[in-house]
C-alpha cells in the first residue's frame, strides 16, 4: 500500500520504502508468531535468552544494547525472566555498579529446546528470498541501521 502523501519525489520514495520495510517486518513477525515456536515468551524475552545462550553472561546494559531495548525495558524483560527462574542477576565482582545476567539451568534448557524449531521457521520464511537476495537484504539493513544523524546520534 503506497503512501497517499504528495510531497517531493525524494519524500515519496523514502516514505514508500519505509512503508514497505515496516509492513514486511510486521508481516514476517506475525507469521513467525503463528508458528508458536516462542511458546509463552515475548519476542524480547526470547531475544534475551537467545543472546545469553549464544554469547554467555553479560551486564544488563550490554544485553539491552544488543536487543535495542531501553534501560527500563530491559529491566522489565529481565525481571520477568528472573521471576520465571530462567535468568539470574549477580553483581559484577570487578565493578559493583554492574549487574551480570546469566541463564539458569532452566533457562538454558528452555532456549536449547525452542531455538532449533524457531530457527527452522525463520529459515522457511526467509526461503522466499534466494541466498543472494538474503545477503543483499542483510547488507542493506546493516547499512540503514548504521546511518548517523547530523546531530551525531
- In a domain, residue 31? The reply is no
CB neighbours of 22 closer than 8 A, spacing ≥ 6?
none
Please give the residue range of the domain that contains residue 83. 40-139
Q: Model's pTM, two decimal places? A: 0.83
Domain CATH for 59: 1.10.10.10
Give the range among 78-87, 108-117, 143-152 with minimum mean pLDDT: 143-152
Tens-digit pLDDT profile for residues 29-43:
999 889 999 999 999
Q: Do 123 and 80 touch, CB atoms closer than 8 A?
A: no
Q: What does the alpha-carbon distance between residue 126 and residue 5 come to, in Å, rounded to a whole number?
A: 31
The number of distinct structural domains making up the chain is: 1
Q: What does the alpha-carbon distance between residue 74 and residue 96 come to, in Å, rounded to a whole number?
A: 19
Tens-digit pLDDT profile for residues 40-77:
999 999 999 999 999 999 999 999 999 988 888 899 99
Amino acid at each position: 500500500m503506497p503512501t497517499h502523501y504528495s510531497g517531493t519525489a525524494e519524500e515519496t520514495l523514502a516514505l514508500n520504502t519505509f512503508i514497505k520495510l515496516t509492513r514486511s517486518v510486521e508481516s514476517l513477525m506475525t507469521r513467525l508468531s503463528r508458528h508458536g515456536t516462542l511458546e509463552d515468551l515475548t519476542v524480547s524475552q526470547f531475544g534475551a535468552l537467545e543472546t545469553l545462550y549464544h554469547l554467555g553472561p553479560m551486564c544488563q546494559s550490554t544485553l539491552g544494547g544488543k536487543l535495542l531495548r531501553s534501560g527500563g525495558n530491559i529491566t522489565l524483560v529481565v525481571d520477568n525472566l528472573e521471576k520465571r527462574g530462567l535468568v539470574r542477576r549477580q553483581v559484577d565482582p570487578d565493578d559493583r555498579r554492574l549487574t551480570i545476567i546469566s541463564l539458569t539451568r532452566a533457562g538454558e534448557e528452555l532456549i536449547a529446546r525452542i531455538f532449533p524449531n524457531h530457527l527452522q521457521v525463520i529459515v522457511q520464511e526467509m526461503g522466499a528470498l534466494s541466498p543472494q537476495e538474503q545477503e543483499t537484504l542483510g547488507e542493506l539493513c546493516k547499512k540503514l541501521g548504521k546511518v548517523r544523524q547530523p546531530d551525531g546520534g
